Amino acid sequence: MAPLCRRRVCSLAAAAGVLAALSASCTSFVGTPARLAPAPPRASRLQRQAERRTSSDNFIDKAFTVMADMLVSTMPLAQQEKDAYQYYRDGMAAQTSGDYSTALRAYAESLKIEEDPIDRSYIFYNLGIIFGSNGEYVKSVKYYHLALDQNKELPQAYNNIAVIYHNQGTRAEKQGNIDKAMVLYDKAAQYWNQAIRIAPTNYLEAQSWLKETGRAASFVDEKLLGIF
């Protein structure tokens, strides 16, 4: 979409995003504190929280799409912009229904003609969600990074990368590979710190984990001490 169009779309979608965020705050954010040799129920709880957070992020994106739908139908857009948006819309619909192959094709078509970096970042972000849902975590991280290449202020992409590294660290820890687990936990911390820098009131359990494990960046420490 053209920048002017997208700014108008985002202004309407912001209200939907706020409502979605308020709804999401009723459940825990991803990033439950990790300790050495965690009990199995705690690991399953982390997975449930990861699913809830991904669902919450998807809800925010769907809310944006609904608001944008209403606006696009009434605005004089260039055909290329309308086509890019329609492919994105088709991809979101297919992704929501679990038809990932159709979603991948639609997002690929949208990427061919979409020029705006912010819009492209959300397409790459959704591709990351799809590959992560299929257990293809290397591809998932790749597409989250492509999203961040387009838009470095996308906290949910940082968060989802952190979740992947944290889950891998938990598995390595259970297998007795503590050194590998610590490396993966450190990677998770780097991405969670970035997510919290952008969205300091989100990812509360991740913030607690960072603080408890001594991995919080200085801005996180300051926020927890009440300076922010």
The mean-pLDDT minimum among 12-21, 57-66, 211-220 falls in 12-21
Q: What is the mean pLDDT of residues 128-136?
A: 95
Interior angle at CA 69, CA 30 and CA 88, nearest 5: 65
Percent of the chain with pLDDT over 90: 50
pLDDT score, position 61:
56
Q: What is the pLDDT of residue 217?
A: 84
Cα separations (Å) of 188 from 34, 40, 69, 178, 226?
Answer: 11, 20, 35, 15, 24
Q: What pTM value is reported for the model?
A: 0.66
pLDDT digits (tens, 9 = 90+) for 198-209: 999 999 999 999
At 83 the pLDDT is 82
